[in-house]
């Protein structure tokens, strides 16, 4: 018999229908409902005298009761106002991070913790690591449980960016890699199928999920074939819950032509590369196991194949100084072979049990004090080009694990305050996203930045608001390989490459639209048309795109055809 899906907190909204309908009538009557006002309404309509209803129950009730009991029809805008932590999906997609199983890492870095219960460099009390451990590091269960939790508090889960973390991805055996990624796609496909019948947005649930994630088919051997993965990928192209991006993290010395081909076959679109420093002496002192030449080679290979590039950079390493770090940060942008699209800044922290502890006891390494770190990062922020996104500014290491150093958890905010004191602000992508702002698509202006990178040029195409302080609504990264570029894939021969297309603003479900929101307003098509014009003028006969599995249908609608691991569009007149 069909069961109704409760909120993640376990309360069945149907059992509290009258109280929840009264709350929702009050909430939907306010078109400009703010978070503070919603909190007051929650307190005014308590759960049987036990305090406010949990937000996931309110969201589940709205999905179930909209259009009934005197409530207006389902409205995505109302769901957005009821959503908990809306910033999680305000970059246009819903990110879901998973961890691989504990496995030996080829590195021997002095700063890296070793917890046998975790993949290398992760600690058992990090929030994401705890979630993964509770699911036995099973990829299917990690994705399913996370999607259920996100959906319960109102986030759309039809466009998912999968982020695979844990040690060095490239060091894991290939059969495990294939199995792991296949199970990620299985989880998306199954969750979307369950959700489509179980709880459509704005409708009443018709049946419950087909079992708990733990009841998924047994895959204890951690192995799968390439054909199995390809089948799961094809199913995801039209699934209700699609993968619109897949990233993994690895080391520069593990990136060669064979690895690039394997990553693309897996469906990877973004690579997180732990470069840590661009100073060979610092890399050697920290026993990093690679040099800057490895980093340059890896970046060139990955960029030529169209991958989005996210680098990890660490100030305050053994042998570094604040001024040396400032110079090192400038090298990220001065060296055309580097110039990442995104950057995670992870200040080095002393964690118990690392080899760095011995250097600390001997006085060879000291953590920067808080003021020095904030001043350093403020200088780094202002040196970051507008086409790069500063994704993170601190590693999510619990304070109880840090033995020495004073790194505040709100480090980004501290840096932004320091910049404000100087009358400055970061111009990186994250600082300029439209997020929840109202957007008039017709009023957006084109902004273009061209710069040299590796074996060709990069063109950053953006659509920005016409405000005095322009906000970024959408962008496209167009790669224009030079004659020295040697493509690793036949589909890329003679082709310009769209490496990334991203529309910002609150994520909106596929096929839906919200007035005043950037999502699904035709901005992606405008940028593709601009990329087509530029590539044609530059003399390229074709335009390729490194599409994620779940975006293949979108690019087909824009004239691209499948070509192996890529999609390609012939340019008019060529």
d(CA 468, CA 488): 44
Least confident of 202-216, 224-238, 251-265: 202-216
543 by DSSP, 3-state: which? strand
Q: Does the pLDDT of residue 27 top 70, yes or no?
A: yes
Helix (H) or strand (E) holding 460: strand 456-464
d(CA 170, CA 183): 18
Q: Does the pLDDT of residue 389 top 90, yes or no?
A: yes
Predicted local confidence at residue 92, as pLDDT: 67
Least confident of 26-35, 282-291, 413-422: 26-35
- pLDDT tier for residue 332 given thresholds of 50, 70 and 90: very high
Least confident of 33-42, 173-182, 429-438, 447-456: 33-42
Q: What are phi and psi of 96, to 5 degrees?
A: -130, 115
- How much of the chain exceeds pLDDT 90, in percent? 62
Q: Find out whether 59 and 152 touch, Cβ atoms under 8 Å.
A: yes
Query: Mean pLDDT across the stretch 431-457?
Result: 92
Q: Does the pLDDT of residue 564 top 90, yes or no?
A: yes
Least confident of 193-197, 371-375, 414-418: 193-197
The runs of H, that is alpha helices, within 157-307 are 174-198, 226-236, 257-266, 280-285, 292-304
Q: Does the pLDDT of residue 426 top 60, yes or no?
A: yes
Predicted local confidence at residue 330, as pLDDT: 98
Helical axes 370-383 vs 322-334, angle rounded to 10°: 20
User: pTM for the full model?
Assistant: 0.85
261-432 placed in CATH 3.30.750.200: yes
> Within a 10 A sphere around the Cβ of 36, how many other Cβ atoms?
7
The runs of H, that is alpha helices, within 401-444 are 411-421, 429-432
pLDDT digits (tens, 9 = 90+) for 467-483: 888 999 999 999 999 98
The CATH class, in words, for 441-570 is alpha beta
Predicted local confidence at residue 370, as pLDDT: 94
480 by DSSP, 3-state: which? strand
Least confident of 214-228, 444-458, 533-547: 214-228
Residues 6+ apart with CB under 8 A from 172: 100, 103, 180
Predicted local confidence at residue 515, as pLDDT: 53
Q: Dihedral of CA 54/55/61/67: which sign?
A: positive
Listed by start position, the domains of the chain span 13-82, 93-250, 261-432, 441-570
Query: Mean pLDDT across the stretch 208-234?
Result: 66
How would you class 541 by CB atoms within 10 Å of its CB: exposed for 0-12, middle for 13-18, buried for 19 or more? Answer: middle
Identify each DSSP E strand in 17-75 by its residue range: none
- pLDDT tier for residue 135 given thresholds of 50, 70 and 90: very high
Predicted local confidence at residue 529, as pLDDT: 97
Q: Does the pLDDT of residue 159 top 90, yes or no?
A: yes
Residues facing residue 342 across a β-bridge: 310, 389
pLDDT digits (tens, 9 = 90+) for 499-519: 999 998 654 455 555 454 444
d(CA 121, CA 109): 10
């Amino acid at each position: 018999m069909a069961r109704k899906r409760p909120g993640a907190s376990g309360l069945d909204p149907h059992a509290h229908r009258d109280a929840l309908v009264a709350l929702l009538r009050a909430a939907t009557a306010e078109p400009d409902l703010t978070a503070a006002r919603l909190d007051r309404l929650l307190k005014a309509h308590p759960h049987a005298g036990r305090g406010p209803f949990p937000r996931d129950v309110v969201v589940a009730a709205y999905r179930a009761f909209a259009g009934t009991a005197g409530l207006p029809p389902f409205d995505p805008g109302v769901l957005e106002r009821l959503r908990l932590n809306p910033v999680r999906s305000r970059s246009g997609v819903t990110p879901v991070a998973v961890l691989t199983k504990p496995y030996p890492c080829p590195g021997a870095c002095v700063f890296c913790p070793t917890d046998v219960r975790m993949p290398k460099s992760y600690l058992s009390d990090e929030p994401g690591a705890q979630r993964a451990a509770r699911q036995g590091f099973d990829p299917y269960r990690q994705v399913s449980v996370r999607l259920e939790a996100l959906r319960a508090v109102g986030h759309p889960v039809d466009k998912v960016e999968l982020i695979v973390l844990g040690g060095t991805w490239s060091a894991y055996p290939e059969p495990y890699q294939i199995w792991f990624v296949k199970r990620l796609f299985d989880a998306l496909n199954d969750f979307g199928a369950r959700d489509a019948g179980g709880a459509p947005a704005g409708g009443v649930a018709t049946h419950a999920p087909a079992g708990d994630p733990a009841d998924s088919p047994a895959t204890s051997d951690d192995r799968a074939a390439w054909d199995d993965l390809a089948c799961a990928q094809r199913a995801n192209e039209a699934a209700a819950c699609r993968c619109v991006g897949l990233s993994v993290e690895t080391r520069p010395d593990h990136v060669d032509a064979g690895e690039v081909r394997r990553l693309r076959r897996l469906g990877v679109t973004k690579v997180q590369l732990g470069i840590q420093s661009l100073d060979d002496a610092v890399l050697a002192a920290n026993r990093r196991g690679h040099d800057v030449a490895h980093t340059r080679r890896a970046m060139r290979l990955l960029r030529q194949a169209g991958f989005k590039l996210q680098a990890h950079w660490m100030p305050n390493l053994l042998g570094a100084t604040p001024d040396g770090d400032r110079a090192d940060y400038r090298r990220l942008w001065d060296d055309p072979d580097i110039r990442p699209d995104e950057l995670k800044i992870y200040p080095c922290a002393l964690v118990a049990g690392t080899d760095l502890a011995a250097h600390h006891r001997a006085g060879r390494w000291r953590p920067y004090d808080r003021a020095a770190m904030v001043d350093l990062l403020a200088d780094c922020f202002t040196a970051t080009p507008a086409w790069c996104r500063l994704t993170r500014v601190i590693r999510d290491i619990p304070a109880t694990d840090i033995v020495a150093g004073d790194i505040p958890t709100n480090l980004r905010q501290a840096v932004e305050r320091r910049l404000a004191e100087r009358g400055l602000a970061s111009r990186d992508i994250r600082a300029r996203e439209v997020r929840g702002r109202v957007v008039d698509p017709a009023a957006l202006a084109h902004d273009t930045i061209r710069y040299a990178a590796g074996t060709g040029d990069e063109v950053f195409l953006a659509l920005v608001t016409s405000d005095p302080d322009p906000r970024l609504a959408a962008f496209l990264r167009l790669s224009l390989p030079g004659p020295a570029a040697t493509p690793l894939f036949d589909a890329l021969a003679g082709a310009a490459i769209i490496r990334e297309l991203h529309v910002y603003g609150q994520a909106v479900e596929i096929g839906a639209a919200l007035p005043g929101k950037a999502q699904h307003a035709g901005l992606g098509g405008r940028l593709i048309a601009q990329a087509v014009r530029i590539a044609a003028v530059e003399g390229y006969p074709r335009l390729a795109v490194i599409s994620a599995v779940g975006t293949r249908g979108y690019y087909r609608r824009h004239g691209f055809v499948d070509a192996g691991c890529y999609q390609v569009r012939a340019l008019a007149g060529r």
